[in-house]
Amino acid sequence: SQTIHQWPATLVQPVGSPLSLECTVEGTSNPNLYWYRQAAGRGLQLLFYSVGIGQISSEVPQNLSASRPQDRQFILSSKKLLLSDSGFYLCAWSVGSGTQYFGPGTRLTVL
């Protein structure tokens, strides 16, 4: 069966520090991969999605970036975190445009 992992589960980082969040999927090939941010009172915001290795679509201009170095690995990064980057980050996968399956999330606090 398919599973999706995210780590770390929680992260506290100072402003200006770099960020790397990792997401991996098991049990499926060539999935679509997604990064969302869930902020209190603002719902789910799609940040990036990828339909294949090295193919990244950015939905919202920001100081975050994403990469997909392997078929089932999706990484969210930043060179310098801002206070406004705090939030709950969710990774998800799907087969095509079908149902999306979400990971457990990473709670990021930028101080």
Partner 1 sequence: AQRVTQPEKLLSVFKGAPVELKCNYSYSGSPELFWYVQYSRQRLQLLLRHISRESIKGFTADLNKGETSFHLKKPFAQEEDSAMYYCALSTQGAQKLVFGQGTRLTINP
Residues that bind partner 1 (CB under 8 A): 32, 34, 36, 41-44, 46, 49, 51, 57, 59, 90, 92, 96-97, 99-105
* Closest listed residue to residue 23, CA positions, set 97, 90, 88, 80: 90
Whose Cβ is closer to partner 1: residue 51's or residue 53's?
51
Least Å from the CB of residue 57 to partner 1? 8
Beta bridge partners of 108: 11, 87
Whose Cβ is closer to partner 1: residue 31's or residue 81's?
31
Residue 69: left if φ>0, alpha if ψ -120 to 50, beta else—which one?
alpha
Whose Cβ is closer to partner 1: residue 14's or residue 43's?
43
Instruction: Return the amino acid letter for 69.
Output: P
Whose Cβ is closer to partner 1: residue 25's or residue 90's?
90
**Are 106 and 8 contacting, i.e. CB atoms less than 8 angstroms apart?**
yes
Least Å from the CB of residue 38 to partner 1? 8
Least Å from the CB of residue 79 to partner 1? 25
Torsion on CA atoms 3, 106, 87, 102, rounded to nearest 10: 10
